[in-house]
Amino acid sequence: MNKQGENAKQPSLAIALFAVATLLVVVMYGLIYRPHFTEHAAFPLEIVFLSAAVMLIAGLLVMGYDWQDILQAITHKLARAIPTLLLLFAIGLLISSWMMSGTIPMLVYLGLSWINIDYLYVVAFVLPIIFSLCTGTSWGSIATIGLVVMAVATVVNAHLAITAGAIVGGAYFGDKLSPLSDTTNIAAMAVGVDLYQHIGAMLYTTLPSALLSFAIFYWLGGVYPADIAFSGNGVSTSLSTNSEALNVDILQYTLDAISQLFTLHWLLLAPPAIILFGAFFKKPPLPTLIVSTVVACCLAFGIQSLALDDVIQSLYQGFNVTMTRHVDVTVDEHVTVLFNRGGLYALHQPVVITILVFIYVGALDCVKAIPTIINRLLDNVQRPATLISSSLIASAATNAMTSSQYANSFIVGETFAKKYDQLGVPRKVLSRSLEDTGTMIESLVPWSTTAVFIYATLGISVAEYWQWQWLSLINIVLAFMFAWLGIGQFQNARSKKESSRFISAGKST
């Protein structure tokens, strides 16, 4: 047996730590040290993962691993990334088609007409909750209803970072608790628990987090009202004594511009209705997005009277309001910036980063780095509170390292399941823990594909919105608090007795 075969079957802790350290070193230097301790710019995320992958692969080759085995592991991982990549391309097409059909402009028009801007942050939190509960997708909610709310916030001069934090939090609440969510189903599947038991367990931490977040966003509506201008550092300054009148003028101007640029018709609600229909009847998301895009293109022809060349160009490079040249109207930049977006290449950055992440993760899997480290850390864990906390930490670290809740659910779930059984802690607590930190940390990790997608879609970076993404921040804290307070552990008398017997046996040995 060659050295590679021995290492693959029995990976050492040293090799596993080296594999993980390649990314940690680049992240610490490129994303933390350079921007905060020197005058240099941070590394682009593409360079971070490319550098980590090159260092890891080079190290494995030096240690005697076979290139073909490394390549096979990377190829296998990339194959699992294909659905995500296709979804990113489909969302770019969806955004451009909803723009040129007038669907998003009409939703913005309705939002500006109906939404009370005094409660804008609450609305930004609640609407994505409803949409993601119905559709089971956080990304889809952010790219559709989130984009609409963001456009409204831009027009009324609201605090965009708070709005983005509310949108992302609401989207992740619904995605986490929706029975249609792929990550929710996978977390339950990975540890072998019933889907609705998994969702019921998550209510213990997620529902209180949502209620507290709702209260905070309600309070923030008074602290950072929409008639205040914000500087780059988030400090509010009054526009002028006529700021309220100015915002009213801008609001009315935007409504007039939308009604002149686009023909508003109730049929324009068909594309989002298709998304909701597909989610309710559990249709595959990718075909549903494509159908919605095709219908939106037909509406662009029939209702907006766009030329074929404009429709093709919009799908290719994104919609531009100049395509509505049949309407003799000139609009300001603050209106065009709302609608000039989308297209096949709109999300090219998340696509590239996703590919590079999975190349690194594939090489990581070649030496089973994460399971090896986690198994070693579990050797001395004998208390339920310690076990739950360990699974929360492992889930957060695994998702941050792999940028994949799928990988996190199966790696951490399979690694911790037997230990949960030994200590008499129900597995639904484990499945909940996978999401309490794994799912919830996605939008807070700057190098994750989710964070890159949010920036590409909403135009707000993690550095700007993380402190306003209250749902995840509160949920993560509550998960650890409940673990040590014994809340929501679902241990009956028998399971506690089994746990005590296991701990006693461990002490005696």
Structure confidence by residue, pLDDT tens digits, 42-82: 788 788 889 999 999 999 999 999 999 999 999 998 887 78
Asked if 359 and 74 touch (Cβ cutoff 8 Å), the reply is yes
> How far is it, in rounded angstroms, from Cα 227 to Cα 165?
19
> How far is it, in rounded angstroms, from Cα 124 to Cα 165?
9
Sign, Cα dihedral of 82, 358, 75, 431: negative
Q: Tell me the mean pLDDT in the region 28-53.
A: 85
The SS3 assignment for 445 reads coil
pLDDT above 70 for 334: no
> How far is it, in rounded angstroms, from Cα 487 to Cα 469?
24
* Average pLDDT along the chain: 82
What is the value of pTM for the model shown? 0.69
The pLDDT value given to residue 86: 87
pLDDT above 50 for 479: yes
Residues in a beta bridge with 236: 230
> How far is it, in rounded angstroms, from Cα 349 to Cα 113?
34
The pLDDT value given to residue 231: 37
> How far is it, in rounded angstroms, from Cα 318 to Cα 341?
5
pLDDT above 90 for 176: no
Residue-wise pLDDT tens digits, 103-142: 888 887 887 777 777 889 999 999 888 878 766 678 878 8
Asked if 150 and 115 touch (Cβ cutoff 8 Å), the reply is no
> How far is it, in rounded angstroms, from Cα 283 to Cα 180?
10
Beta strand 236-237 pairing with 229-230: antiparallel
pLDDT above 60 for 8: no
The pLDDT value given to residue 497: 56
> How far is it, in rounded angstroms, from Cα 176 to Cα 181?
7
Chain-centroid distance, C-alpha 235 = 27
Least confident stretch, 183-192, 272-281, 375-384, 486-495: 486-495
Q: Sorting pLDDT into bands at 50, 70 and 90, what band is 188?
A: confident
- Which tokens sit at 21? 């350290």
Residues in a beta bridge with 229: 237
Least confident stretch, 124-128, 152-156, 233-237, 258-262: 233-237
Residue-wise pLDDT tens digits, 247-261: 556 667 778 888 888
Residue 163: count of CB within 10 angstroms of its CB:
30
pLDDT above 70 for 498: no
The pLDDT value given to residue 41: 83
Least confident stretch, 41-45, 243-247, 353-357, 422-426: 243-247
pLDDT above 70 for 238: no
Please report how the helices 285-302 and 270-280 are oriented relative to each other, as an axis angle in degrees rounded to 10.
Answer: 160
The pLDDT value given to residue 131: 77
The pLDDT value given to residue 267: 95
- Which tokens sit at 80? 């699992």
175-214 b/e (C-beta count within 10 Å ≥ 16 → b):
bbbbebbebbbbbbebbebeeebbbebbebbbeebbebbb
User: For residue 385, which phi and psi values (nearest 5 degrees)?
Assistant: -65, -40
Please report how the helices 103-114 and 270-280 are oriented relative to each other, as an axis angle in degrees rounded to 10.
Answer: 90
- Which tokens sit at 63? 């240690």
Q: Tell me the mean pLDDT in the region 306-317.
A: 92
Q: Sorting pLDDT into bands at 50, 70 and 90, what band is 302?
A: very high
Of all residues in the chain, the percent with pLDDT exceeding 70 is 85
- Which tokens sit at 321? 């309001």
